[in-house]
Amino acid sequence: MDMNQQMRKTEKEWQGLYSPQFEHDNCGIGAVVNIRGQKNHGIVEKALKIVENLEHRAGKDAEGKTGDGVGILLQISHNFFSEVCEKSGITLGAEREYAVGMFFFPQNELKRNQAKKMFEIIVEKEGMDFLGWRKVPTRPEVLGQKARDCMPHILQAFIGKPADVEKGLEFDRKLYIVRRIFEQSNDNTYVSSLSSRTIVYKGMFLVGQLRTFFGDLQNLNYESAIAVVHSRFSTNTNPSWERAHPNRLIVHNGEINTIRGNADKMLAREETLSSSRLESDLYRVLPVVDTQGSDSAMLDNTLEFLMMSGLELPLAVMAAIPEPWANNDTISQEIRDFYQYYATMMEPWDGPAAIVFSDGDVMGAVLDRNGLRPSRYYVTKEDELILASEVGALSVPEEKVVQKERLYPGKILLVDTVRGRVFSDDEVKSYYASKQPYGEWLDSNLIHLKDLKIPNQPVPEYSDEERTRLQKAFGYSFEEYRTSIRDMALNGTESTSAMGVDTPLAVLSDKHQPLFHYFKQLFAQVTNPPIDAIREKIVTSTTVYVGRDGNLLEENGENCRVLKIENPILTNTDLLKIKNISAKGFQVAVIPITYYKSTPLERAIDHVYVEVERAYKKGTSILILSDRGVDENHVAIPSLLAVSAVHQYLVRTKKRTSVSIILESGEPREVHHFATLLGYGASAVNPYLAQETIHELIETMIGKDYYAAVDDYNHAVLSGIVKIASKMGISTIQSYQGSKMFEAVGISEEVVCRYFTGTVSRVGG
């Protein structure tokens, strides 16, 4: 029985505890590459067989005739396109002297012609020759009805390379600018690929329909040394022709759990980016990320932008998806310094993911830091590397196999078809880690909070009467006072509780509830496993970086001039040190988030925006939002509302990566409170009233040193946040920060849209 028959048999039969429905757990990925770069049709054929054998990893509709999406990324075959274009009256130059674009146009003829004309004008205005259009041979009759109903009109465009532009990446950079200008001037056409090196064929197919739909793939003259395939099982978005993989550089099996925060920060980062490669063209390719795309499409947008801006593709992948380096003693100091340098500028794109990437010259693969997605590969005697999301996706005789291996957590694999060799994880990382003196840059510029001197100033303290008044003002309950704060300060751990939340909804309560309680934590589910943060401590990191982010596109020492904080729950002394920091490149501003109680809350928030803008213009890099000063005339803006409102304001105005937010508040005291504050944009939190309450408890209920009790309380809070993040499959606090991994219940749609943008809210208030 061959493999396809075995798979069909498996789908129909139940075997013991096995159920066929378990097969539909995530996407399937595969790649075939000739290591020496020798093109042949066999590479294309083998890749198509892989994706056809991954049918159990592809989603389909209830009718079973329309798939979630299948596609293939190939090198541009010069022999093939020279032949077919000659028949169409299109004259091409030599290999890589022209580019091919794959377009999904609307079926409406008028709109299609308008879009085509617009593209031709843009190409010519950018100094390139438009050579012509080719209608891609297709067979719509093999598709299901749903796929046919939304099928685009598929055309290929051909563009000649200007004589003064080098082949390869430089030509592709010009094409990238053309595509971005076209995408921003047209909203009814999707460009699958536009490159002189690669082309993408994809659509809403079942796995067997990719080959039969596109006539080009069946032509024996279509030759490639690289072929990357993907079968999609939609988990986060609805299927569509555009959302099928491959994207322009990557195929992706998994989920980016921190995508909301990653996308927000990437958009905000645009203000601080500058590139010698794009120079005056940079503004024309912004925004970097299309937030309407899937999580993998947004990652692809980011990697493509970084590559076009001058970062080599493997380097961009390593910066976005780093291995767990902070607690890993097995890596060299050079590699650790490399990751530390890039961590000061960009948070990890975190979540279970196996990613294959290619720019037409190299093909690589990387696995997430937890290794939660399988990726295995063979190297054969025919100098081919065959990679897939599982063993057996392609039948290879044992006598032809030279090496069998798998990708390990956080590791990278790279095949360079130009040099004709495979590079191991250690070779790739050592190469990039040794290109710059990252260690020297960090020693000269990175500042550690623990190394800052304590200023000769008193830490603010409250009398018993003032403390009691503030506890009432911030809604402290006896239960929180007696159990939550006391237990964490006494034992250094959060009280044990069930994973589920069965407490009544805050919106239904007769009593005043803190805003935190209107937000429910999201949990990993289906294909997205939670992490055991205790046993897998090596992959977790609690470090955050405060200050102005450096320019990600240009490597220099000043980029890492930030403040490193190991625990984002700050003591009063920690905050005092930050307020008085005098190091070059740091400027701190304290913004009050209190207001006269007769003032409308909306106006008070608008006033905070004004103060934030004023501080930014003065060069502030650290904003401290403080609610100290609550009295009989002044009340505090709810701290979560203040943090999220300022965070979203800075994202909208593209200032977020120029300014860090630290909260000084008497309101947070439970782990969930801190988790929401970090999840909505705070870099660190100083719970001054909770720590004052510990001072009071020392005298009555806790028989230990005050500073030890505060450290234990902070440690308990941090451990609780790590546990919450790990339930969502997130490993680092840096990635969790701003990720908005909550659902709002009982808050009006207007408030959510304005101040908690992007938050799931099924039930308003």
Kindly list the catalytic residues. 27
Q: Could you tell me the CA-to-CA distances from 139 to 41, 409, 450 in Å, in that order?
A: 21, 41, 66
Cα–Cα dist 432/200, whole Å? 29
3-state secondary structure of 544: strand
Contact 301, 290 (CB under 8 A): yes
Contact 268, 650 (CB under 8 A): yes
Cα–Cα dist 196/99, whole Å? 4
Q: Strand 70-75 relative to strand 226-231: parallel, antiparallel, unpaired?
A: antiparallel
Contact 213, 205 (CB under 8 A): yes
Cα–Cα dist 462/222, whole Å? 78
Cα–Cα dist 489/458, whole Å? 23
Q: Strand 412-416 relative to strand 421-423: parallel, antiparallel, unpaired?
A: antiparallel
The two tokens of residue 472 are 């009432």
For 201, phi then psi, to 5°, come to -110, 120
Alpha helices in 379-419 (DSSP H): none
| Residue spans of beta strands (DSSP E) within 524-644 | 544-546, 563-565, 588-592, 594-596, 622-626, 634-636
Q: Which helix (H) or strand (E) holds 245?
A: none
Nearest to 149 by CA among 52, 55, 65, 236: 65
Estimate to the nearest angstrom the gap between the alpha carbon of 117 and the chain centroid: 35
Alpha helices in 562-633 (DSSP H): 572-579, 601-617
Q: Which helix (H) or strand (E) holds 422?
A: strand 421-423
DSSP state of 13: -
Residue with tokens 């219940």: 745
DSSP state of 233: -
Estimate to the nearest angstrom the gap between the alpha carbon of 190 and the chain centroid: 22
Nearest to 538 by CA among 374, 321, 331, 254: 331
For 194, phi then psi, to 5°, come to -150, 100
Residue with tokens 């290929």: 156
User: For residue 666, what are the contacts with CB-CB under 8 A and spacing of at least 6?
Assistant: 470, 473, 474, 627, 628, 630, 636, 687, 688, 689, 690, 692
